[in-house]
Amino acid sequence: MALDKSAPKPAIVVVDDDPEVLRAIARDLRQHYAEEYRIVRASSGHDALDAIRELRKREDPVALFLSDQRMPQLDGVGFLAQASQLYPDARKALLTAYADTDAAISAINDSSVDYYLLKPWDPPDEKLYPVLDDLLATWRAAYRPGYRGLKIVGDRWSADSHRIRDFLARNGVPYEFVDVESADAGLGGNGNGNEDGSAEKAPAPDELPIVLLPGGERLNRPTTPDLARHVGMRTSAGNEFYDLAIVGGGPAGLACAVYGASEGLSTVLIEREATGGQAGTSSRIENYLGFPAGLSGGDLARRATAQAQRFGVEILTPREVQALEIDGQYKKISFDDGSTVSCHALMLSMGVDWRRLPADGADGLTGRGVYYGAAMTEAILCKDEHVLTVGAGNSAGQAALHFAQYAKQVTMLVRGTSLAASMSQYLVDRIESHPRIDIRYTCTVEACEGTDRLECVTVVTRDGAREQIKAPYLFVFIGAAPRTDWLGDHIARDDRGFVLTGPDLKEAHTENWPLERDPFLLETNVPGVFAAGDVRHESVKRVASAVGEGSVAVAFVHRHLAKL
């Protein structure tokens, strides 16, 4: 997202008590970032906090804090902790000497510091700018430029409002949300009423949500595809035929796209909702190799999407695939509008959907207090509320930790007797020691109640005792199911709908196999159709394994294409 040139420049605040180091880092920052950012220098943590408070008074944005660790009176970690209270969305990095790396790693684990850089940082083109570029890109992806950008007017408890907010957020489109219950909707052309200064009539409930585009155009209750077109997302294929078509834009699909396109294959990726898939909704991924501070699923999706586009991948979203046809060596996929795309090789990487909560009233309150996955758009609205989560996997654990940053209390509802059976130990340790997270074991959700929104949840323990818990938010993480019905009878699947590949295919599945060779490791019962990631039978449900499968599959795609 390009920054608005008419708005105040976001600040990069740099702090170091060594005058020579401060001059050097400020010089390098100005050389690379002065066009889009304002560089603010301070020689101590206390001076920096005074400067930040002034920026806060003027409502100027701050994108990044870069602080030396070893400073008298207030060290770098202490400064970043206080600065984060004023600008919680700004990225945070420590500038350290080699002797302080243990403190820097502890700060990443305990104080939500995003990165640390070692002194000296020469050459900056290799050791400084790539790291800061990435941190600033992450900040820009979440930056909400107020009235200058896209605006949504709606009810925070409306399922349609949630659908639109979640779609835009997951696709990295900045917006401002105005809740009609708590603020002036400001529907006029100037954002404050009609152009003549008069107040505009409040919208009727059946008009909501309303999307106000930066150019002044107004969309009443837009469909997701219509909204995608208006914000400039690509929804139509540029060609009728591709070497490689990928259905599903999660980690497996994105990895396949990056490797396929970078190796010269004409590649199209088709995604039903937003790139990143289920992983893209994760509040934090902390065990992905090469990211010691962890990263959010949204960050991972944004980086991978940009990487795929750099290599020329066509990304179509949101597009729903309805059917598959096999015509010899050609595969044709049909969309919900009747259009088609054909290819030589097809990758199935649709991932999985969260299973629906089998509780009375849950379906009717979905999007109105009951949410599936982390629903990151709701996090800030959970401030000072009681939040419930259902599930005991890593996704549930990361979500509980994330919501605990905002909520008054987070209660995890767990069917089993422990978290350790299905959750990484580092998450278990952090959850059990968190003062605002409570865990209820051996219980299930029986009912969700509320009129216009969720008001309370009925929980049943293993011994049959019932309890009503008042809470406006319930986030569900109870396993997942593949969406593979559109594959018809062409592609062999197990009894749960997961796609069978390679050695998992039985003789009955390959009785019509036309080639002399056996199916490749990630190939289905149809030559040239591959599967990777969570949609594949018995796959390892980890981001790293999905990325590995998606990239490895490209080698098999090349071997298949070479024989055509």
User: Quick one: pLDDT at residue 192?
Assistant: 43
Specify whether the CB–CB gap between 188 and 210 falls below 8 A.
Answer: no
Residue the block writes with tokens 């004409």: 266
Single out the residue in 409, 443, 478 at which a domain terminates: 478
Same domain for 346 and 389?
no
What is the rounded distance in angstroms from the CA atom of residue 109 to the CA atom of residue 95? 16
Q: How many domains does the chain have?
A: 4
Report the candidate in 538, 361, 389 with the shortest Cα–Cα distance to residue 452: 361
Specify whether the CB–CB gap between 281 and 170 falls below 8 A.
Answer: yes
Same domain for 151 and 134?
no
Sign of CA dihedral 86, 91, 96, 100: positive
What is the rounded distance in angstroms from the CA atom of residue 132 to the CA atom of residue 138? 10
What is the rounded distance in angstroms from the CA atom of residue 229 to the CA atom of residue 213? 12
Q: Is residue 6 part of a domain?
A: no
Sign of CA dihedral 300, 302, 304, 307: negative
How do 115-118 and 151-154 pair as beta strands? unpaired
User: Quick one: pLDDT at residue 380?
Assistant: 82
Task: Name residue 165's amino acid.
Answer: R
Same domain for 168 and 120?
no
Same domain for 31 and 128?
yes
Specify whether the CB–CB gap between 475 and 369 falls below 8 A.
Answer: no
Same domain for 37 and 111?
yes
- Please give the biggest Cα pair distance in the chain: 77
Specify whether the CB–CB gap between 482 and 535 falls below 8 A.
Answer: yes
Helix (H, G, I), strand (E, B) or coil at 25: helix
Residue the block writes with tokens 């290799």: 126
Q: Is residue 236 part of a domain?
A: no
Q: Is residue 325 part of a domain?
A: yes
Same domain for 537 and 432?
no
Same domain for 26 and 115?
yes
Q: Is residue 296 part of a domain?
A: yes
Reduced DSSP (H G I as helix, E B as strand, rest coil) percent helix, strand, coil of the chain, to 5 = 35, 25, 45
User: Quick one: pLDDT at residue 472?
Assistant: 96
What is the rounded distance in angstroms from the CA atom of residue 303 to the CA atom of residue 296? 11
Instruction: Give every CB contact of residue 368 below 8 A, 6+ residues apart in sequence.
Output: 157, 158, 159, 162, 450, 452, 453, 454
Same domain for 378 and 340?
no
CATH number at residue 44: 3.40.50.2300
100-143 pLDDT tens trace? 677 767 777 666 788 888 888 989 999 999 999 989 988 987 77
User: Which of the residues in the chain have pLDDT under 70?
Assistant: 1-7, 99-100, 104, 109-111, 144-148, 182-202
How do 473-476 and 11-15 pair as beta strands? unpaired
366-375 pLDDT tens trace? 999 999 988 7
Single out the residue in 230, 255, 273 at which a domain terminates: 230
User: Quick one: pLDDT at residue 180?
Assistant: 85
Instruction: Give every CB contact of residue 468 below 8 A, 6+ residues apart in sequence.
Output: 456, 457, 458, 459
Helix (H) or strand (E) holding 255: helix 251-262
User: Quick one: pLDDT at residue 145?
Assistant: 58
Q: Is residue 114 part of a domain?
A: yes
Same domain for 525 and 541?
yes
Q: Is residue 473 part of a domain?
A: yes
Strands in 210-212's sheet, in edge-to-edge order, are 176-179, 151-154, 210-212, 218-220
Report the candidate in 70, 59, 80 with the shortest Cα–Cα distance to residue 135: 80
Same domain for 287 and 327?
yes
Helix (H, G, I), strand (E, B) or coil at 553: helix
Single out the residue in 452, 478, 504 at which a domain terminates: 478
Q: Is residue 2 part of a domain?
A: no
What is the rounded distance in angstroms from the CA atom of residue 99 to the CA atom of residue 101? 6
Tell me phi and psi for residue 458, to 5 degrees: -95, 125
Same domain for 18 and 130?
yes
- What token pair was written down for 237? 């294929």
Ramachandran area for residue 112 (φ above 0: left; ψ -120 to 50: alpha; else beta): left
Same domain for 259 and 367?
no
CATH number at residue 403: 3.50.50.60
What is the rounded distance in angstroms from the CA atom of residue 532 to the CA atom of residue 257? 12
Q: Is residue 1 part of a domain?
A: no
Helix (H) or strand (E) holding 150: none
- What token pair was written down for 16? 């170091």
User: Quick one: pLDDT at residue 397?
Assistant: 94
Per the structure, the complete domain to which residue 207 belongs is given by: 146-230
H helices present in 18-92, as ranges: 19-33, 45-57, 76-86
What is the rounded distance in angstroms from the CA atom of residue 285 to the CA atom of residue 401? 12
CATH number at residue 191: 3.40.30.10
